[in-house]
A and B are shown apart, each in its own frame.
Chain A
Amino acid sequence: MSNAHAAVTPNGAVDVAVLGGGNAGLCAALAARQRGASVVVIEGAPREFRGGNSRHTRNLRSMHDRPTDLLVDAYTEDEFVADLLRVTAGRTNEVLARRVVRDSADCPAWIRSFGARLQRPLKGTLHLDRTNVFFVGGGKALMNSYYAAAERMGVRVLYDADVTGLDVVDGRCTCVSVALDGRLHSISARAVVLAAGGFESNLEWLKEIWGPAADNFIVRGTPYNTGKVLKLMLDLGAQPVGDPTQFHCVAVDARAPKFDGGIVTRLDSVSLGIVVNAHAERFYDEGEDFWPKRYAIWGRLVAQQPGQIAYSIVDAKSRGLFMPSVFPPIEARSIRELANPLAVSPDALERTVTAFNRAVCSGSFDHAVLDDCRTRGLTPEKTHWARALDTPPFWAYPLRPGVTFTYLGLKVDERARVLMSNGEPAENIVAAGEIMAGNILGQGYVAGVGMTIGTVFGRIAGAEVSRHAVA
């Protein structure tokens, strides 16, 4: 194993410094290197955990006018843009959004050119077979291919490297300060790519916004997205974009690790039973909609409950109907018995379940469609897939909000240049990936678009900074 870390002295001049070694950073590094620039990637994580949140991803959204070897039918530019406008409720820069969409068509070929492999959707995600290509082995395998290509091409990678400062004068960055191996280094670069992600793993920052509730949040991805580079740039007068208080959040198993639990901590039993809070009360229609939408709202719903905890409760009828969870269910023979390990009042839980069971109207259960199994006379109602909880054993899964990414970012132009407070683009500072995704994704989410933004803007950023390279 070659370790660039040991082989280089970080001090010295380089054409391009890329801050952050996730998907966007690597795409920028590779694109700049292909154009002849000398490149150093400054990655905050150790080698084993490199790749930012990209190591937890699995697919990328890609437009196409006709079927490809991986995608069926067509997913046109207009349809993709319309999807973005819908999920963001208009909080998007349409010029940048359209650029991302147009360039997304070429992303699969770009990915494959570095030896990474793509596949059709995984089992159970067939609703994405028109829109998303999947990475064989997931995002970490993709990142391995990018890193291997970067090393082959002579890109230097510094791992475990902490960016502590940027020298920026009049929109021009001349030097990046990096703490590495307990020493402070200065890297002078002709241009800088900011690709260091959002601030979702900075618990202090989350607490400033959300108060003590943030203590109960689980961060689904990398612990290295501290928002340090984002903050440095905002303090240096870069224009912000995106809601500074908001983050994308899904319901995850409360037993998940504080950081880095990724995809396996998600829980998808919600629609099959009921969800109660710490007072053993229901608080939202569990049967409102299918997985993609449901998935996106339940994190926030749980975040609004006392103690930021909730419990998904199902009975034996639902066994095997949802994606297996990595944590075992809390099991009991009766609802009363179930209350104990959940630390909710047995009386209250029994009341809630009894009221729910009485309100269930008979219908024909079909989890594949919005069926006619619903309750009548409850607040809130359960509008689909409502079946009485009457068949032991009963299972419960504790839920907490799982933060995926934050929306606050740096405003950029179509060349990925960071816009400063005077309205002018920075001369040699560009941004790519989550740190600027808020330009396109002001709110909401649609599967695989984060990787699309990172890939497209990584390439744009890499091409832009390579202009500054010594020929």
Chain B
Amino acid sequence: MLSPEALKQAQHVLTVCNACRYCEAYCPVFPAIENRTSFAKGDVMYLANLCHNCGECLYACQYAPPHEFGIDVPRVMAEVRVASYEEFCWPAFMSRAFRQTATVIGPVVGSIVLAWVLRHFVQSSNSQGADFYAVMPHDDMIKMFGVAGAFAIIVLLAGLVRAMRSFGASVMSGFSRTAWRDVLTLRHLHAAGDDCTADLDVRTPWRRYFHHCTFYGFALCFASTTVAAVYHSVFGWPAPYSYTSAPVILGTIGGIGLLVGPLGLLVQRGRRDPKLQDPAQGTLDISFIAMLLLTSATGLLLLVARHTGSMPVLLFIHLGFVLGLFVTLPYGKFVHGIYRTAALLKYASEERR
């Protein structure tokens, strides 16, 4: 939750920024600051989610530590951002997950995986070939993931509604081409031009490239599953699908993206200037990255080994991670995409006025 001290510190920083304005051309955060004369809690949380943590403004700032004003916008915005995830979280008691990801979400994931593996491993050892549904009936799978998916969507929507309300954004602000372009291209991840900022004199495009791998990899995996579901229920074409089929191609490319992207982000993270990061966010970032990696790795492994005897075990492990990912989506780093999108939509609506 956003403590009064943290709010006050953020307000101090934003007040200095508003009186200076040198960073205006970097990203929407600064024009949005200039649209305001004071910064209420909702404004601060909006600005924090508008910030993509590119880092340029820290190095450009003549008031950055060790200056007595101690202005570090990327760091302060990162701190407020985590607090905003907690504020928008539903149900409220789950908000503690954002600070204790390792201790809360880790065991949840672990137990889901273990339970599935043990329960079904015993019942379904009679599978032949690559027939997943012989291991776990299609309807069971649909029910299981339908429930988990619906849960994730409902909770994420509840957060989105809370965020939009807090930012003072209307539903109408959803109709903005600029905002959607900025969301999909991650334009504000690289305010320095084409490259992302890693340190004072270090600009590389890799942070953006790896994020794209992750995001679009995730999207392709999702598309793969959706296409497979349509094949099965609409056309009655049962799995397994060939290597040249749409679900497998989408899933393979997506899976590789989801392997390369998070790995790259993990490496990039370690190479970034610590001054740009909120140390409290470490577990949040790493647990989400780990979940994505495990999901894609087990998925690809399953694809490769689907004709072998270890398929049932691999299937349950993979399904366990997918399920764990779904259930923990609303209580981890994934939400940053939702709230950044909300903030960009709000910004586009402000600009139109």
Contacts and interface: CB of A to CB of B under 8 A. Distances in A.
Given A263-B20, A324-B15, A1 B201 contact: yes
B231 interface: no
Contacts of A262: 20, 62-63
Which residue of B19, B22, B56, B193 has the most chain A CB atoms within 10 A of its CB atom? Answer: B22
A141 B60 contact: yes
Contacts of B53: none
Interface in A115-160: 117, 119, 122-124, 134-141, 144, 147-148, 151
A152 B61 CA distance: 22
Contact of B22 (A1, A2, A137, A324): A137
B15 A138 contact: no
A123 B36 CA distance: 13
A292 interface: no
B57 to A, nearest CB: 7
Contact of B60 (A49, A124, A137, A326): A137
Contacts of B57: 137
A264 interface: yes
A136 B27 CA distance: 11
B139 interface: no
Interface string A52-63: 000110100000
A80 to B, nearest CB: 24
B5 interface: no
Interface string B6-34: 00000000011011111111100001001
Given A144-B201, A324-B15, A137 B34 contact: no
Contacts of B193: 117
B66 A264 contact: no
Interface string B182-221: 0000000000010000011100000000000000000000
Interface string A313-345: 000000110011110000000000000000000
A48 B71 CA distance: 13
B21 A140 contact: no
A406 B52 CA distance: 41
A262 B22 CA distance: 12
A260 interface: yes
Interface residue SS majority, chain B? loop
A324 B67 contact: no
A363 interface: no
Interface string A32-67: 000000000000000011000001101000000000
B68 interface: yes
A148 B201 contact: yes
B73 to A, nearest CB: 12
B59 interface: yes
B201 A263 contact: no
B37 interface: yes
A107 B34 CA distance: 29
B24 A122 contact: yes
B121 to A, nearest CB: 52
A1 B26 CA distance: 23
Given A56-B62, A262-B63, A136 B20 contact: no
Contact of B25 (A119, A140, A148, A326): A119
Question: Interface residues of B toward A: which range?
Answer: 20 to 34
A319 B60 CA distance: 30
A377 interface: no
Contacts of A137: 22-23, 25-26, 56-57, 59-60
Interface string B158-171: 00000000000000
B60 A264 contact: no
Interface string B66-77: 111100000000
B23 A264 contact: no
A144 B20 contact: no
A257 B68 contact: yes
Contacts of A319: 37
Contacts of A148: 200-201
Contacts of B68: 257, 260
Contact of A48 (B21, B31, B66, B69): B66
A151 B62 contact: no
B67 A260 contact: yes
Contact of A324 (B37, B59, B60): B37
B19 A138 contact: no
B24 to A, nearest CB: 5
Contact of B62 (A2, A140, A266): A140
Nearest to A47: B200
A293 to B, nearest CB: 21
B23 A326 contact: no
Interface of A: 1-2, 48-49, 55-56, 58, 117, 119, 122-124, 134-141, 144, 147-148, 151, 257, 260, 262-264, 266, 319-320, 323-326
For the complex of A and B, list the 6 residue pairs with the smallest distance between their C-beta atoms, beginning with the closest. Answer: A137-B60, A138-B22, A141-B60, A264-B19, A148-B201, A326-B19
Given A140-B60, A264-B63, 16 more contacts: A58-B22, A117-B193, A119-B25, A134-B25, A137-B25, A137-B60, A141-B59, A147-B201, A148-B200, A148-B201, A151-B201, A263-B20, A264-B20, A319-B37, A324-B37, A326-B19
7 contacts: A1-B199, A1-B201, A123-B31, A137-B25, A137-B59, A138-B62, A148-B201
